[in-house]
A and B are shown apart, each in its own frame.
Chain A
Amino acid sequence: MSPGPLALVLAALLAWLAIGTLGLARARELVFVSRVLFPVGALAGLVLAAAGVIALGAPAQALVVPLGLPDLPFHLRLDALSAFFLILLGAVGAAISVFSAGYFRSSEGTAPGLVCFHYHVFLASMALVLLADDAYVFMVAWESMALSSYFLVTTEHRIAEIRRAGFLYLLIAHVGAIGILLCFGVLQGGSGDYSFDAMRAAKLAGHWPSVAFLLALFGFGAKAGILPLHVWLPEAHPAAPSPASALMSAVMLKTAIYGLLRVSFDLLDAQLWWWGVIALSLGLATALFGVVFAAVQTDMKRLLAYSSIENIGIIVCGIGLTVIFKSHGKTLLAAITMTAVLYHALNHAFFKSLLFLATGSVLHATRERSLGKLGGLIHRMPWVAWLALVGTLAISGLPPLNGFVSEWLLLQAFLFTPSLPQSFVNMLVPVAAAALALAAALAAYVMVKFYGIVFLGQPREPGLAQAHDAGRLERVGLVFLAAGCVLLGLFPVQVIALLDPVNEMLVGSTAGRGVAQNWLLLAPINADRASYSPLIVFLVVGAIVLLTTLLVRRFYHGRVRRADPWDCGFPLQTPRMQDTAEGFGQPIRQVFEPFFRLQRQLPSPFDAAPKYSARADDHWWHWLYLPIARAAEACGRFFGLIQQGRISVYLTYSFVTLLVLLLFVQ
């Protein structure tokens, strides 16, 4: 085996496992675990990312490791698609590891070394998912990923609510795993060979490819959080410690996207256009649903979790559009859409982990997750606040940051659909584009709410005055991610050129070569039609801000007058009178009322201590999950009738069974 990128990747993977084991061996030594093990893990992440960059340009490398069951060795393969997601995992994982080094404290829950073990096994199993080249390794890695992340979610396992969230997560993860397992079963096409090479070669007849695609969409959708399998996200993310939620939201959801891409574009040799329509509609529904729910949340981590649902929706919607283009042979357009998908996956990994980590710092500083009790933190925590601002702008899709590039590319791709020969799709797509634009705009609204309530204004609680800024290691992690957001936003042309091997592999065309002709201007098809130059936008924005600042300083400074503000005839003003999270979300709650199952408690006008509470519940609980739970319970009660607890009755059951079987055999 020549030392290539695959060797580097394996070295990083083994390093993670070794770190995890070391942590397990010295479980109670917080300083050793956090100051030594986590930074070393971050280094391994950087190595992984570097190996991914090398592997993107290199030809695919395969390896058979004689591990596992007899006659079932591990098939590993590092191709462009895995390399891209390995970069994502390595880079974001490294930042989160550095942050974690400063984050984990001793707590009531799991010992720090054990957390270190779960964390690094989680990282290593995600890397293994990306490397797997047969269904067996894939499922082993996939399940260890689910289990290790389950233990991370339930770090504070002494709290019943968190255990419940963890159970829900594990349940849906397993339902999804069944879908994936069945999907691989269909893909091997009766050959009994579960290596991905055999699946690529297998020619599935009739409806089987569609069955495989739908199973993959279901199975990976459960992990990614596509409607209606999204319910675990808003429960599990707030329950997990912030680095774990960052890792799950930023990277683990992307492994599901990876799986979906792997199955639909690599393992299945041809795509049908209606798969794309299904993915597109599901993605749009998910995106809209996620963002509308994010708008009414009052817990900052729940808000981010719903925002993750929205972003996954956008990505899945892009995948659907890619399938539509590819099935009609428009490979160039498919390549542009695929670029948007991959780019958005990368962007989401960066800005969402940045925001989750920022909430972690806020949580540590204030012990408060509820938006209604935060506020004004920009004065107390300037580092976190300014870095979170970068993430907020990026996730809102504002130029010149990274979120804008991918959403713009995706919307551009939507505008090319009139060239499709199918009138049905042609009618559907403008609606989809409009819905996508709506989701993007609402996302900006959500982020204004998030940032404004947490960091701006006056502190809503007196305790917030003691809030302290993030530690040095935490800052390093946050700066790394924020820098990623800025760089990905400023140099899209270079990034897209880097993504080209993936496009080449998945859709058989490249978007980057045409794009890369002009290093300054990003023009997907040609510059006359639409183009975008982040550097110019950046310079202009920067210049205007600078100019305004100078002008304000020059002309208005010294003319500031301190006086009582206009008090609306109400002289007493407290920080409690600021706009609240509920208040900010109220218009959305009003406009999108059918989305929610609202439960409002209005106080009576004569109440001396009036209380108002409003809860926006998820319809899906009542439409889908509770009926299933009730049916399971009814089944259980029915079988409970058979269970008498009397030995003679049980013996009679087996006796009667024996007699019936004997009769039957006769």
Chain B
Amino acid sequence: MAAGIPFYAQLINLFAAVLLLISFAMLAQRRVLSLIDLFAAQGLALALSTAVVGWGTGQSHLYWSAGVTLTLKVFLLPFLLYRLIRRLDVKWDVEPLINIPTTMLVGIVLVVFAFNLAAPISNLSSTVTRSTLGIAIASVMLSFLMMITRRKAIPQVIGFLAMENGLFFAATSATYGMPMVVELGIALDVLVGMLILGVFFFQIREQFDSLDLKHLEQLREDE
């Protein structure tokens, strides 16, 4: 059966699997610096898979997307995050709200759900990369789960960025990429969003001397 699938499609499936694996790894990772490394690795996998899709289907504009992804998600954003952590001087471990094994179990359920969800769409789809759609949805959901379970602000932002990775992967894998304008727009959005959130971190810390989001709960209006 493996012989029936072209080489590049096998490569894409490989990268998809790597992506999902990294998503799980992020879910399990406690240390914030390792989290950034994982995020960069995920970006690398994404860029490679995009390039491979471009190579396999002959769509040259995907090389550009891959390039943008590479500079933005492997170099620029991790660099910004690193600098942010250095400036804020916060190298603590991440304490999740729910313990790691439970989170992993929930994650597995989510992956099953995502594949179930993607099945009818994959069957209809004629692209070679159709089987990866489930993985894309799964990694979006896992990133979301990560945002929910983390207490500190920076891991939440990383979760947010990872979610965007999953979406991007869904776009390339299911439809061979979006128009270039849209991709550039999203890339810019992520970058600007990151910068604004960085400013917010400083503000939050100035206000509460901590980046723990439980302090924000006090902003709620009392009855």
Contact = CB atoms under 8 A, between A and B. Distances in A.
Interface string A604-645: 000000000000000000000000000000000100100111
B151 A648 contact: yes
A172 to B, nearest CB: 27
Given A644-B217, A645-B220, A666 B156 contact: no
Nearest to B137: A662
Contact of A655 (B144, B216, B219, B223): B144
Contacts of A652: 148
Contacts of A643: 220
Contacts of A659: 113, 141
Contacts of B149: 648
Contacts of A644: 217, 220
Contacts, number: 38
A655 B219 CA distance: 23
24 contacts: A637-B223, A644-B217, A644-B220, A645-B216, A645-B217, A645-B218, A646-B214, A646-B217, A647-B156, A647-B213, A648-B147, A648-B149, A648-B213, A651-B144, A651-B147, A651-B148, A652-B148, A655-B145, A655-B148, A658-B144, A659-B113, A666-B116, A666-B117, A666-B120
A651 B150 CA distance: 11
Interface of A: 637, 640, 643-648, 651-652, 655, 658-659, 662, 666
A645 B148 contact: no
Interface string B107-131: 0000001001100100000000000
Secondary structure of the B side of the interface? Answer: helix
Nearest to A645: B220
B32 to A, nearest CB: 17
A648 B219 contact: no
A640 B220 CA distance: 10
A454 to B, nearest CB: 47
A644 B219 CA distance: 10
A659 B223 CA distance: 32
Interface in B177-223: 213-214, 216-220, 223
Contacts of B217: 644-646
Contacts of A647: 156, 213, 216
B97 interface: yes
B160 to A, nearest CB: 10
A48 to B, nearest CB: 49
Interface residues of B, number: 22
Nearest to A647: B213
A637 B221 CA distance: 12
A645 B223 CA distance: 13
Contacts of A651: 144, 147-148
A-B pairs, 5 with minimum CB distance: A645-B220, A645-B217, A651-B148, A648-B148, A647-B213
Given A645-B218, A659-B113, 6 more contacts: A637-B223, A640-B223, A644-B220, A646-B213, A647-B213, A666-B117
B219 A645 contact: yes
Contacts of A666: 116-117, 120
Contacts of B151: 648
A651 B98 CA distance: 14
A639 to B, nearest CB: 12
A655 B143 CA distance: 11
Nearest to B97: A648
A244 B218 CA distance: 45
A477 to B, nearest CB: 49
Contacts of A648: 97, 147-151, 213
Contacts of B220: 643-645
Contacts of B213: 646-648
A659 B148 CA distance: 14
Nearest to B146: A651
A653 to B, nearest CB: 10
Nearest to A655: B144
Nearest to A662: B117
Nearest to B213: A647
A640 B223 CA distance: 9
A652 B98 CA distance: 13
The CB with the most chain A CB atoms within 10 A, among B148, B217, B223, is that of: B148
A648 B145 CA distance: 10
Contacts of B216: 645, 647
A658 B150 CA distance: 19
A360 B25 CA distance: 77
Contacts of A662: 117
Interface in B130-183: 141, 144-145, 147-151, 156
A643 B216 CA distance: 13
B150 to A, nearest CB: 8
A643 B148 CA distance: 16
Nearest to A652: B148
A648 B214 CA distance: 10
Nearest to A651: B148
A651 B213 CA distance: 13
A353 B147 CA distance: 64
A655 B145 CA distance: 8
A645 B220 CA distance: 6
Contacts of B145: 655
A647 B144 CA distance: 12
A664 to B, nearest CB: 11
Nearest to A659: B113
A341 B214 CA distance: 65
